[in-house]
Amino acid sequence: MPAPGDHKAYMQLALQEAQKSPPKSTNFRVGALVVDPSSNQILATGYTLELPGNTHAEQCCFMKLAEQRGVSEEHLSKVLPPGLILYTTLEPCSERLSGNLPCVQRILRLAGRITTVFVGALEPEKFVAENTGRKILTDAGINVVQVGGLEKEILKVATAGHIKS
């Protein structure tokens, strides 16, 4: 378990999650963790396509937390402690081409519960031209902080399976 506040170490754990995601040309391989800093405990992990339904890493974390606590994802904010941290290797999506609820909207449902989102790299403009997720979260009072030093490795993992142009 990383030391409290060792954001790079937590991001490396999220990157290990991302590496479990199957390489595909139609999505990014992303890993995520939900951490309770008051106990320094990882409450949930997730990676792209871990669960059925074209799932994103953050979505998998929230689905697992909802299942653990016996509620629907929509009611998760009622059963989580405040002040949680989300670590995600790529900034959360603001738009889903699949029709699924964007990860930014899922995080907003947990405003007050998730108070900080640490991202390892900004989303490349491959599928969605401009990801406005960071601004939406910041405007809602959720801190968004980029953890430096792993961008190259994160993007290499995220784009595995993509056709190089």
Q: Does position 58 have pLDDT exceeding 60, yes or no? A: yes
| Residue pLDDT, tens place only, 145-165 | 999 999 999 999 999 988 765
Which residue of the set 17, 58, 91, 123 is catalytic?
A: 58
Cα 133 to the chain's mean position, in Å?
11
The answer to whether residue 30 is domain-embedded is yes
Q: Which residue is associated with the tokens 């991001």?
A: 11
The answer to whether residue 112 is domain-embedded is yes
Cα 126 to the chain's mean position, in Å?
18
Q: Which residue is associated with the tokens 């790299």?
A: 121
Structure confidence at residue 56 (pLDDT): 94
The answer to whether residue 118 is domain-embedded is yes
The answer to whether residue 165 is domain-embedded is no
Residue 49 belongs to a domain with what CATH number? 3.40.140.10
Largest CA distance in the chain: 46
Q: Is the dihedral of CA 68, 69, 70, 73 positive or negative?
A: negative
The secondary structure of residue 79, as a DSSP letter, is T
Q: Higher model confidence: residue 42 or residue 97?
A: 42
Tell me if residue 151 is catalytic.
Answer: no
The secondary structure of residue 125, as a DSSP letter, is T
The answer to whether residue 136 is domain-embedded is yes
- 123 close to 58: Cβ distance less than 8 angstroms: no
Token code pair at residue 137: 């979260």
Compute the distance between CA of residue 26 and CA of residue 98 in angstroms, rounded to an integer.
10
| Structural domain count of the chain | 1
Structure confidence at residue 165 (pLDDT): 56
The whole domain housing 141 covers: 7-158
10 Å Cβ neighbour count for 87? 30
Cα 73 to the chain's mean position, in Å?
15
The amino acid present at 116, given as its one-letter code, is T
Structure confidence at residue 98 (pLDDT): 74
The answer to whether residue 163 is domain-embedded is no
Q: Does position 40 have pLDDT exceeding 80, yes or no? A: yes
**Across the chain, what does the average pLDDT equal?**
91
Beta-sheet strands, E only, within the chain: 31-36, 41-47, 84-90, 114-121, 143-146
Q: Does position 130 have pLDDT exceeding 60, yes or no? A: yes
